[in-house]
Amino acid sequence: MTVGAGPRLARGEHGLQRAGDSPVRRVSLWQRLRRRALAVYAFLALAYLFTPIAYLTVFSFNDSGKSNIVWKGFTLDNWKNPCGAPDVCTALGNSLKIGVISTTVATVLGTMIAFALARHRFRGRTATNLLIFVPMATPEVVLGASLLTLFLNFRVPLGMGTIIVAHVMFCISFVVVAVKARIASLDPALEQAAMDLYATEVQTFRRVTLPLVAPGIAAAALLSLSLSFDDFIITFFNSGNVNTFPKFVYVSALRGIPAQAYVIGVAMFYLALLIVLVAEVLRHRRERALH
C-alpha cells in the first residue's frame, strides 16, 4: 500500500508544477481568442443558413401581383388569404395528405423492421441491412427514374397512389435507422425487470418497451413527414397530373411564383421553429422547477 502511493504522489506533483507554468496561461489566452472566433464563425454560418428564409419572409409581404421578383410594396393580403393564388392550396393539401399517409405506413413498417433487427437473430440479416442501406445511398433521381420505369412497364396509372408508394419506399430506411438506434440504447435490464415483476412478454412490450421506444418512433415519424413533404425529384417523376407543393413551386418558377407560396413555405418554417422552441422552453422550466 505504501509502495503504491509513491508514484501516484509523484504524478500529482508533476501536475501541480504544470498548472503554474506560463505556457498554460498563453494557451488559455489563445483559447479565449479562438472561442470568440468560433462564435463569430458559427454566427456567420447561421446567418448564411437564414438568408433565404429572411428573403422569403420579406417577399411574402410583397404586393407583387403575379410574379414575385421585384419589391412593389408592403401588404398583408398574402398572409390573410394564403389560398388566394390558384392551385396553391390544392397542392398543399395533396402534400399534407401524401405526407401523413406515407409517414404512417413507413413508420409502422420501419419500426417493425427495426425491432426485428435489434431484437432477433435470423437468417438473411446482411441482405436485410443492405436492402435498407442501399436506398439511402441512391440518388433521388435514380429512385424516381427506376420507379417510373416500373410503373410504365406495368402500365400503372400515375397519381396519388404512385406518389405514396414512392414516399413510403424512401422513408422506410430512415425510420429503421432512427428507431433501431433508440432500441439499441435501451437497457435490457428494464425489460427483464418487467418480466421479473410478473409482466408477460406481451405486457412487457406494451408497458415498458413501447413507451420507452416511443420518442424514437416519434422522431422517425417527424423526419419521415418532413422528407415526404419536401420531396420534389421522386415525386416529379411519379406524380402524373397530381400537384404537390414543391412541384407547384417548381413548375410556377418559370412563370413567376405567387407570393402566397412564399407565405406557405415560410409559415411551415416558423411553425416548426415555434413548436420546437416552445417545447424547449417548457423543458427548461420543468427542469428548473425540480432543482
Give the footprint of other proteins on residues 69-128 (CB under 8 A): 69-70, 109-110, 112-113, 115-116, 119-122, 128
Q: Which three cell numbers stand for residue 178?
A: 432512427
Selected range binding other proteins among 6-14, 22-30, 72-80, 82-90, rule: CB under 8 A: 22-30
Q: Which amino acid is at 103?
A: T
From the CB of 196, what's the least distance to other proteins, in Å?
5
DSSP 145-183: HHHHHHHHHTTPPPSHHHHHHHHHHHHHHHHHHHHHHHH
Distance of alpha carbon 35 from its chain centroid, rounded?
Answer: 29
> Judged by CB under 8 A, does residue 20 bind other proteins?
no
> Judged by CB under 8 A, does residue 18 bind other proteins?
yes
Binding to other proteins (CB under 8 A) within 225-264 occurs at 226, 230, 232-233, 236-237, 245-246, 249-250, 253, 257, 261-262
Return the percent helix, strand and coil in the chain, to nearest 5. 80, 0, 20
Residues in the chain: 291
123 phi-psi bin (left φ>0, alpha ψ -120 to 50, beta other):
beta
Phi, psi of 62 (to 5 degrees): -80, 130
> Judged by CB under 8 A, does residue 191 bind other proteins?
yes
Number of residues that bind other proteins (CB under 8 A): 111
> Judged by CB under 8 A, does residue 17 bind other proteins?
no
Of these, 10, 25, 32, 42, which contacts other proteins (CB under 8 A)?
A: 42
Selected range binding other proteins among 6-14, 47-55, 77-85, rule: CB under 8 A: 47-55
> Judged by CB under 8 A, does residue 164 bind other proteins?
no
Phi, psi of 117 (to 5 degrees): -70, -40
> Judged by CB under 8 A, does residue 142 bind other proteins?
yes
Of these, 88, 98, 163, 176, which contacts other proteins (CB under 8 A)?
A: 176
